[in-house]
Structures are given as structure tokens and as C-alpha cells.
Structure 1
Amino acid sequence: MHNNLKTQFCDLQLDSPIILLSGCVGFGEEYTRIEGFSNTDVGAICLKGTTLEPRLGNIPSRVTETPQGMINAIGLQNPGTDVVINDIMPNLDKQETRFIINISGSSIEEYGKIAKRFDDSDIDAIEINISCPNIKEGGVAFGNDPDMSYRVVDICRKNTTKPLITKLSPNQTDIALSAQRCIDGGTDGLAVINTLMGMSINTATRTPVTGNNQGGLSGPAIKPVALLKVHQVYQVSKHHNVPIIGQGGIMTANDAIEFIIAGAATVGIGTALFYDPLVCPKINDGISQYLIDHKLNSIDELVGTLQLNSAISQCDTGSK
């Protein structure tokens, strides 16, 4: 255990700044049963996206590797809220690490109902996935409309006292405005970012590789985008003391450190686990050593310390 990695996020005491991302470790047991896993490797595990009723998800194929990343189109396959609460959560070792549930809805009312159900459980926190389509209003994603994002967070806030973390979509015009509206709605934390939308094509059949035609792109390919979005959101969140989970293509300790410098209080690891299931202790070691080398006592001292270049040159258009 590295004492300099202990941190607090949304009133949760974490042994490590690493949070395993929703969908990448199922409901926890897929990762915690790996030989070599230690409960000090990760600060929290975000469980698979859960809807009110069971969902079968999208037709295959659901996952495909792409250059420097992967596309997934799972479609929120899950057994539903009641099964998660009654059958899955009692088997989670609460002494092992912190557990966060990720919730998804097809209407604002559904989000409120799910939040209420988990409020009566012993889950540590609730992550709101606002990248889902609003079926009642033509299928537009909740997270692509700042005011609709506010309404989702607001109804969840009214139905739970658990810490709320809102996962922001990069597929929108102004992520900083969306962050502000989620803060206005009562979110305690922000997860930045969700996947980018992408496509992969089978040239032999001239059809999309994934059965859903498109899916969420994750992995190193999206890291530069994610870093910029964390920096932009931090400009808003720092004034409200709302912490950020920085995520999107983190594969190494240096990647994680970049996100912390940009403004993330914790870092989300997802796609990296598919390459190296035991990458977390390596990332912890690297962050801890960086803090020691730079004479910093904690991660808090590193968060948001990015120094922007003061001079920005004008583009040379070539005209005389």
C-alpha cells in the first residue's frame, strides 16, 4: 500500500486513485477473482450499467479492436435493478474496495426510480450514465442536451442521499456547460469522459463490424480528447469543489499523471485491463514514485496544476 495515494472522492475514502470503469469488470467478480488482485490496487469499482428492467443488449458482434483502441456496442445488457440489488450486491465483499453502481434510463422518470431503489441499498455511490437516448423525446441522448442533463441529475438527487457522479459525454458541443448544469442539478462528482462514437467496417462484406452499426470507442486513441475535456470541465468544477474521475485511454502511470495534472482527482481504468489485467499496481507504483520525486505528499497537491503556455502564436497563412 502506498500511503501517499490515499485520497477522498465524494466523501469516500479510497486507498488508491484508481477506479475501475463500468462495463469493463462486469459486476466486480470478474476482476476481483484474478490471481494477484489486491484490495489496495483500486480505490473503487464501478459496476456494470444497470437499467430498471432486464435488457438483452445488442445483437453480435459487440466488440471489435481498432487501431489504438476498441469499439464496444454491448447495449447495456444487464439483469435489471432488482436482481442486482437482491442477488448480486449481497455477494460483493464490501471490505475489499468501494463499489459504485452505474445507472441508465430511457426516461427521466426511470432514472429517478432506479436512484430510489439503490438509495435503499448499501452501494457506496451512484454513477449516472446520461449518454442514453431519451425514448420519450425522439431518441436524443440525455447527455447531449445540458438542460436535459440537469433534469436527470435533479431527479436522481431528489431520490437519493448517496454520492452522485455524472458521466459526461464528449459527443456534445460544450462539455463545460453540461458540467455546470449537472453541478446545478446536484451532482457530487463528474466522470470525464464517456466513449466517443465510432464505426469499424468489414470490407469483405461492406457492412459494419458491430451488429449495432456503431459503438463506443475507447482506449489510447481517445486519450488526447479526454485530456482536453478534463481540463475544460475542471475550469468549471474547481469553483464548486466537485471532483473529476479522469478517464479515456489511460494505459500507464504517466497517462494517469497527465489526467491528474489536467484536473482529475481520480483516474478511471477500463480498456487497459483487456491488455493487462494487473496493470493497476503498476500505475499505482508510478504515481507514487512521481509524487516522491516531486516532493509532493498527496495526489491532492498535484490535481489541476497544469501550467498553460502564456504565448500563443498566430497561424501563418502564407499571405503577404
Structure 2
Amino acid sequence: MTKIKISIALFSLGYRFTRRLAIIFFKIESLISGKFFDLELVVDFGNKYMAKLDDCASEVFFNFNIPNGMDREIYDLRFRSPLISASFQSDKKSLVRWRKMGLGGITFKTIMKNKREGNNRPRLAEVKSKDETFLLNALGLPGEGVDSFLDSICTEDIIQLPAPMGFSIGGDSPEEYLDVFQSIHRQLEGKIPQYFYEINISCPNTVDGKSLSEKPEALARLLQTIRTESERVIFIKISPDTSNQSLILMAERVNSFPKIGINAGNTTYRTRKIMGLTQKQFRPDEGGLSGSLLFDRTLEIMHLLKPFSFPKIATGGINTGKKAKAVLDAGADLIGMATALVLDPYCIPKINHYLGRKE
């Protein structure tokens, strides 16, 4: 084992150990205070802790080279690695850090027109099965709103990252999707050389998060309107719960548009009761489950879509090099990552080295 692999393994172990200690600490604190345990507080603590470590020792802990020969070109976008972040992380410093660790591109958390608080807490929970850890979330797309978001990324200079960036657009109506797109287009066109759009039609945690997936004609009209205003690459983010028949119909529709692909997919629907959680552990009645259990469905969708020529992103359950290679062999162009980055971001250099190894 090379020195770099040993370092990655040790950093990975240290991260997972520290994360587990933080969860235990916050659980004890919640018992003492009489409040509910909120996993989001652990996530916020982890983001701040990693940011401080990044500030003082970035070269040691976070700068990893991407092996040669892993570049992916999708139209005018060039990704140095097929790994990208899925549209879930609101902490922009984490996105920059993951890019340094070896992501080929990043995707911002889904952006809505107005500020949203999301659902009541606790709305994020860990669920364990055997040796696996999954996340059940019903965040409800909390966020700062598109105007505040654009102000923040411009002032923080994140738009200067040397990698493609994805802007995930959400909405409660076709009009809101279009408003958010136009706000981003007006502000950023000409300022960023490499970026793409994602139309999120698959969020299970908002009242109207799947409105466009249930209205294909409305989605087609939205895509036609966007395409008249921008030639940027667009990905449609679909749910793994979508039937195979509906996926084929969606693929046929997407195939008729230029520079549009499919991102499969998102979390899978589960109720709190099915996951064995109490209301004190998880306030909403239902949410979206993510983690390695999604892999088989993600791989199945890639095989299903392989005959179509449009670009594809495989998102869901991919946390090892072996799984990454499997979806790439099945036709994926890029790999979206979310839960794996939360549980252990050092999976990024691990997977890159696996994919970049010489047989």
C-alpha cells in the first residue's frame, strides 16, 4: 500500500471516529437538556470543524491529486473526475473542500425563488441496518432564496472554482422554476466558463416537489423556454421511485432536446413508521431515504437508459470504487454523491484512485 493510500485510510478512520464521537456528545447533551436530538446540529458542527482544519492544514488533510486519464467531457463541460457532488449541500465551504479532495465538479443545493425554512425539526435521522448507515431526511428544501444565494456565491468567489458547477433549480410551479432559472442566467451568464443546470423534479419532501414529474407537457414547455434563452447543459433530476415505463417515456422526451441529460436520481420514499422511528426522533411523517441501499436501483436505471445517447448522471448508493466502476460500465457519464460525502468524504480520493488504477 502506497503512502498516499495509507494517509487516506487514516484520515478516513479519523473522520468517521470523530463524527461518531460528535453524535454521542450531542445525544448526551440533548438528554441532559431535555431537548430532542437533532442530527443537523452534528452536521453543522462537522462543517465548522472541517473548515477550521482546512484553514490551518489544507495541504495535509484535503489536497489530493486526481489520477491522469479520468477526464470526462460532456458537450462543453470538462470534468477532471467523473465524481461530482449531488445537489444537497448548502455549506459552500464544504463544496470547495470536496473539490480539493478530488471531485470533478460540484452541484449547489437546490435553489428556490424565496427563502424557505423547510419542515419542522428533527427532520434528519440516521438509520442503521446490519453494518450499513442510511439517512432519512425530510428537510423540505430549506434555503436562502435565489437572490441571496447569488449574492453569496459572487462575494465568496466560489464561482472562480476551476471545475464545472451545477445550479439545481426547484419550484412549486413551472413559473417558479423559470423565475429561478432566469435570475441565475441574468446574473452569471458570461461570468462562469463552465456551468450547467439541473431541473429537480423529484423532491419527495415538499408539497409540490414532484409537480413537473407528474406534468410532462409542462416540463417540455419549461425546457423549450429555457432552451430559447440558454445553450447551457441541462440535467433532469428524476426519482428512483419512477417506474421503468415512465423513465423510458422521459428518456424519449429528453432525447428530443439538445444538450439535455438525466440525473438518476434522488432519495427513495419512506415513512417514519416503516423506518422504525418515533416522532421525537423524526418529526415529519415521511421522508426520503438515501445511502447504499439505492445502488441496485441506480445501476438498474443506468442499464435501462444506456441505449439513449444523452449524458447520464448516476446518483444514489455509490460509495466505493467497485460501485462507481459498475455504473460507469453501465453507461453513466458522471457519478453524483451525497450521503457518502456526509458519512466519509475521504471516499472521494479512495474512489478516484480505484478508478485510476492500471489493470
> Structures share a fold, TM > 0.5?
yes
Pick aligned residue for 1:30 from 68, 90, 94? 94
What is the CA–CA distance in structure 2 between the aligned matches of 1:157 and 1:65, rounded to whole Å? Answer: 40
Q: Which residue in the other structure is 2:124 paired with?
A: 63
Structure 1 residues 279 and 116 mapped into 2: Cα distance closer, same or farther (>3 Å)?
same
The answer to whether the Cα contact below 8 Å between 2:108 and 2:168 also exists between their aligned partners in 1 is yes
Q: Which residue in the other structure is 2:4 paired with?
A: none
Pick aligned residue for 1:125 from 196, 214, 239? 196
What is the CA–CA distance in structure 2 between the aligned matches of 1:272 and 1:130, rounded to whole Å? Answer: 22
| 1:224, distance to aligned residue in structure 2 (A) | 0.4
Please list the CA deviations of residues 19-61 of structure 1 after superposition, one character each: whole Å capped at 9, or x if unmatched: 11111x325312434xxx5637011110011011111111111
Q: Which residue in the other structure is 1:9 paired with?
A: 74
Q: Which residue in the other structure is 1:305 paired with?
A: none
State the Cα RMSD in Å: 2.6
| 1:147, distance to aligned residue in structure 2 (A) | 3.2
| 1:185, distance to aligned residue in structure 2 (A) | 4.7
Q: Which amino acid counterpart does residue 19 of structure 1 have in structure 2?
A: I
The answer to whether the Cα contact below 8 Å between 2:173 and 2:211 also exists between their aligned partners in 1 is no
Pick aligned residue for 2:86 from 21, 28, 36? 21
Q: Pick which of 148-157 and 246-255 moved more.
A: 148-157
Pick aligned residue for 1:98 from 164, 178, 195? 164
2:291 corresponds to 1:219: yes
* Secondary structure of residue in 2 paired with 1:125: strand
What is the CA–CA distance in structure 1 between the aligned matches of 2:253 and 2:282, rounded to whole Å? Answer: 33
What is the CA–CA distance in structure 2 between the aligned matches of 1:253 and 1:42, rounded to whole Å? Answer: 14
| 1:265, distance to aligned residue in structure 2 (A) | 0.8
Q: Which residue in the other structure is 2:327 paired with?
A: 259
What is the CA–CA distance in structure 2 between the aligned matches of 1:215 and 1:28, rounded to whole Å? Answer: 24
Please list the CA deviations of residues 181-235 of structure 1 after superposition, one character each: whole Å capped at 9, or x if unmatched: 2333555221111211112339998648533311111110111011111211222
The answer to whether the Cα contact below 8 Å between 2:95 and 2:106 also exists between their aligned partners in 1 is no
- TM-score normalised per structure 2: 0.71
Pick aligned residue for 2:337 from 260, 269, 272? 269
Q: Which amino acid counterpart does residue 3 of structure 1 have in structure 2?
A: N
- TM-score normalised per structure 1: 0.79
Unpaired runs of at least 5, structure 2: 1-65
Q: Pick which of 223-232 and 87-96 moved more.
A: 87-96
Q: Alignment length, in residue pairs?
A: 281
Q: Which amino acid counterpart does residue 172 of structure 1 have in structure 2?
A: T
What is the CA–CA distance in structure 1 between the aligned matches of 2:141 and 2:179, rounded to whole Å? Answer: 17
Q: Which residue in the other structure is 2:233 paired with?
A: 163
Structure 1 residues 38 and 166 mapped into 2: Cα distance closer, same or farther (>3 Å)?
closer
Identity %: 27
Pick aligned residue for 2:253 from 162, 181, 185? 181
The structure that is helix-richer by fraction is: 2
Unpaired runs of at least 5, structure 1: 294-320
Aligned 1:192-203 pairs, distance under 5 A: 192-201=264-273
2:152 corresponds to 1:87: yes
Q: Which amino acid counterpart does residue 118 of structure 1 have in structure 2?
A: I
2:126 corresponds to 1:49: no
Q: Which amino acid counterpart does residue 28 of structure 1 have in structure 2?
A: K
What is the CA–CA distance in structure 2 between the aligned matches of 1:246 and 1:178, rounded to whole Å? Answer: 16
